[in-house]
Amino acid sequence: MSRLAGKTALVTGSSRGIGRATAERLARDGALVAVHYNADADAAGKVVAGIAEAGGKAFAVKAELGVPGDVDTLFEALEAGLKEHGASGLDILVNNAGVMGGVAPEEVTPEIFDRLVAVNAKAPFFIVQRVLGILQDGGRIINISSGLTRFANPQEVAYAMTKGAVEQLTLHFAKHLSGRGITVNSVAPGITNNGTPVFDIPEVVEQMAALSAFNRVGETRDVADVVAFLASDDARWITGGFLDASGGTLLGG
Q: Is the pLDDT of residue 188 over 60?
A: yes
| Backbone torsion region of residue 175, taken as left when φ is above 0, otherwise alpha when ψ lies between -120 and 50, otherwise beta | alpha
User: Distance between terminal CA atoms of the chain?
Assistant: 38
Q: What is the mean pLDDT of the chain?
A: 96
Tell me, yes or no, whether 94 lies in a domain: yes
159 part of the active site: yes
Q: Which domain holds residue 101?
A: 8-245
In a domain, 3, yes or no: no
**Is 51 among the domain residues?**
yes
1 within some domain? no
Is position 147 within any domain?
A: yes
The model's pTM is 0.96
The CA-atom distances, in angstroms, between 64 and each of 37, 77, 157, 177 are: 8, 12, 24, 27
Domain count across the chain: 1
Do residues 212 and 247 make contact, with C-beta atoms less than 8 angstroms apart?
yes
The secondary structure of 167-202 as a DSSP string is: HHHHHHHHHHTGGGT-EEEEEEE-SEE-S-GGGG-H
Supply the CATH number for residue 109's domain: 3.40.50.720
59, 75, 159, 173: the catalytic one is: 159
Average of per-residue pLDDT across 57-80: 98
- pLDDT of res. 43: 98
Residue 2 has pLDDT above 90, yes or no: no
Say if 252 falls within a structural domain. Answer: no
Contacts of 35 (CB under 8 A, 6+ apart): 11, 14, 15, 20, 23, 44, 47, 48, 51, 58, 59, 60, 61
